[in-house]
Structure 1
Amino acid sequence: MDSTDEFESYSVYIVTIQSIIIKFLTEAIKDILPDTNIEVSQEGVRILSMDPTHTTLVHMNLQNTNFEKFHCTHQQIIGVNMINLFKLIKTITNNDTLALFVHKNDMNHLGVKIENSSRKASTTFKLNLMDLNNGNIKIPPAQFSSVITMKSTDFQKICRDMVNISDEIEIKAVDNSLILTCKGEFAEQETVIGECSSNGISFCQNNPGSDTEIIQGIFSLKYLTLFAKCTNLCPSIQIYLKNDYPLIVCYSVGSLGEIKMCLAPKHSSS
């Protein structure tokens, strides 16, 4: 963690070479959280926000030690329109370095600096910050019955296929099988995936020794398809399942930290 004289004029100054990951992250979040508060502290960068419909909770943590430079004088809340932020950084490439900063004399703007050392080029933007309601969200501790690890690309493909058929997906875990089903007006689909080293799926049951428990829930395919925009962040995801409880899908944010998307279950129309 850096806190040298070069940052004396800033309340926040963060630098990462994983600029493309920040671009993918912003692209994935913007359709779920168009406006969000970002909490920056000496520990890192955090988002804990509900979407406008209060259907989805997004919980992100990026640790300070995972950035090339990280300076923060005190905990502060930065209100950002993610759609506009993405407009500024969408042309970032793998060779770019990204700096995000707030100047002590200009607390109403987020500075965004994109540098490419090989081309000796840099571009700096100032993004208008927003004053957003910082609702008090608390996450109760929970023990999940089943934790499933699978390839993020497989999860994305299933969601994209099924959203063309139905608005809802039933996710069911039985022993070491994941069963995904949907039913629409013109078709229905069932995909069954068993544990296998070649397909990258594995199951962790938190009630070993007990009788087989069926863990299932019905969830919105619209939101899961939006979640799946995080696919570019990491090769595999963790899915946390518990009966009558929100579904949690966890992605690594490169090597910066992780983001969890929590989706409330829907009640079966039948």
Structure 2
Amino acid sequence: MLEAKLAEAQTLKKLLEAIKELVTDANFQCGEEGITLQAMDNSHVALVSVELERAGFAKYRCDRPIPLGVNLGSLTKILKCAKDDDVCTLKAADDADTLSLTYEAKNADRISDYELKLMDIDTDTLGIPDTEYDCCVTMESAEFARIVRDLSVLGESVKVDVSKDGVRFTTEGESANGNVLLKQAEGARSKFKRAGKEKGKKSKVKKEDDGEDEEDAEPESEEEGESSKKKKKKTKVKKEEGASDGDVEMVEDDDDEEAKPDDDEDDDEDEDTTSKKRKKGSSKSSKPSKRAKRSDDDDDDDEHEAGVTIDMNQAVNLTFSLKYLVNFSKSTSLSRRVQLMMSADVPLLVAYKFAQGKIHYYLAPKIGDE
């Protein structure tokens, strides 16, 4: 029996919207580790591979491997009946001919049940070999979608040229040509360096600020630190109390309470002074944690804002169909980043990773004038 619960139905909705135009009918292979789908388009030019990991489900149970043959168009229609934040539960018996979908509202005031008739789809699972690609381009998925969408208006094919200068997308149409160059994210790297320098600068400024009480911050030795504290205490008592010489000698003694047990006003002032010092010290000790946290957030922001990164063993120049790349880019709603992996005479891998799993597209390159 299969029972898989997703915290939000929108994950499945976005996934189906991304692949429904490439694949009409497909088998969802349900197993112990999660749910997978692998299918080719009708022309056998593109392959899509989907993995929904077990950990991505709020609840998952699969007693034995079950293939669920579904028409993706029909499944998409049923998923449109669910709100994006509905809890979606998929259920199927071992030998069932239907797939049950249950949508439950967050406040549990609405529960909807639907059933989808399953199909017998005879397909062979393709073994995708592990490939070491010559280059890997990581970029914003929205930027990739915009580029292929814009260039598809001009031509049918795009030449992808990856070199040390960056990645260039070029298309040639009957009436117009176009190309887009995305450079390696040197700005992001220099930003990381600047952030490191700023961190050092901040720590230095803090040290100088804390240097107002040099004896408290970094005493050279315990004896010097103790003597400096006594000197500081002595000076402050003189200023506040206007004490006589005899009083100063008593202040220098560490046993103030034994020397002046009946002087309540002096004790109160000493306690106030001590409490102020403690408050001041506690506020100083809290500053580094706040600054460190802010610096960590800055690092996260820098990573999120990083543009194009290229890992390259050698330059690659390949041509692909824009129609398929436009279809691949519909997975932008699932992931903010996309990876393009290429090697000569090897299908292009377009990889998206999201919270519940990943989706990979494979596209054969165009050869010659084809």
Deviation at 1:176, TM superposition (A): 4.8
State the secondary structure of the residue aligned to 1:79.
strand
- Give the alignment partner of residue 3 of structure 2, picking from 3, 13, 20: 13
Deviation at 1:263, TM superposition (A): 0.3
Give the counterpart letter for 1:186 in structure 2. Answer: S
Q: Between Structure 1 and Structure 2, how many residues are aligned?
A: 252
Could you tell me which residue of structure 1 aligns to residue 33 of structure 2?
43
Could you tell me which residue of structure 2 aligns to residue 28 of structure 1?
18
Q: Partners in 2 of 1:189 and 1:22 — Cα distance?
A: 36
Tell whether the 8 Å contact from 1:45 to 1:62 is kept in structure 2 after alignment.
Answer: yes
Deviation at 1:141, TM superposition (A): 2.0
**Deviations, residues 80-132 of structure 1 (Å, cap 9, x unaligned):** 1111101111243332111111035x610111111103261011110011111
Could you tell me which residue of structure 2 aligns to residue 264 of structure 1?
364
Identical-pair percentage = 28
Give the counterpart letter for 1:67 in structure 2. Answer: F
Tell me which moved more, 194-203 or 231-240.
Answer: 194-203
Q: Which runs of 5 or more residues in structure 1 are unaligned?
A: 1-10, 208-212
Q: Partners in 2 of 1:101 and 1:94 — Cα distance?
A: 19
Q: Partners in 1 of 2:144 and 2:81 — Cα distance?
A: 26
Q: Partners in 1 of 2:338 and 2:83 — Cα distance?
A: 24
Q: Partners in 1 of 2:122 and 2:161 — Cα distance?
A: 36
**Deviations, residues 164-211 of structure 1 (Å, cap 9, x unaligned):** 111111111002501000011111111000122256211112x3xxxx
TM-score by length of 2: 0.66
- Give the alignment partner of residue 217 of structure 1, picking from 302, 318, 332: 318
Q: Partners in 2 of 1:189 and 1:177 — Cα distance?
A: 16
Could you tell me which residue of structure 1 aligns to residue 83 of structure 2?
93
Could you tell me which residue of structure 1 aligns to residue 93 of structure 2?
103
Tell whether the 8 Å contact from 2:141 to 2:329 is kept in structure 1 after alignment.
Answer: yes
Could you tell me which residue of structure 2 aligns to residue 5 of structure 1?
none
Give the counterpart letter for 1:80 in structure 2. Answer: V
CA RMSD of the aligned region, Å?
Answer: 1.5
Give the counterpart letter for 1:96 in structure 2. Answer: D
C-alpha spacing 1:89/1:136, structure 2 compared with 1 (3 Å): closer
Question: Is 2:343 the counterpart of 1:242?
Answer: yes
Q: Which runs of 5 or more residues in structure 2 are unaligned?
A: 189-304
C-alpha spacing 1:199/1:193, structure 2 compared with 1 (3 Å): farther
Tell whether the 8 Å contact from 2:98 to 2:117 is kept in structure 1 after alignment.
Answer: yes
Tell whether the 8 Å contact from 1:176 to 1:203 is kept in structure 2 after alignment.
Answer: no
C-alpha spacing 1:42/1:65, structure 2 compared with 1 (3 Å): same
Q: Which has the larger radius of gyration?
A: 2
Tell whether the 8 Å contact from 1:218 to 1:268 is kept in structure 2 after alignment.
Answer: no
Could you tell me which residue of structure 2 aligns to residue 139 of structure 1?
128
Q: Partners in 2 of 1:85 and 1:141 — Cα distance?
A: 31
- Give the alignment partner of residue 114 of structure 2, picking from 103, 116, 125: 125
Give the counterpart letter for 2:6 in structure 1. Answer: T
Give the counterpart letter for 2:320 in structure 1. Answer: F
C-alpha spacing 1:189/1:34, structure 2 compared with 1 (3 Å): same
TM-score by length of 1: 0.89
Mapping 1:109-258, distance limit 5 Å = 109-118=98-107, 120-196=109-185, 197=188, 198=305, 200-205=307-312, 207=313, 213-252=314-353, 254-258=354-358
Higher strand share: 1
Q: Partners in 2 of 1:113 and 1:93 — Cα distance?
A: 12
State the secondary structure of the residue aligned to 1:246.
strand
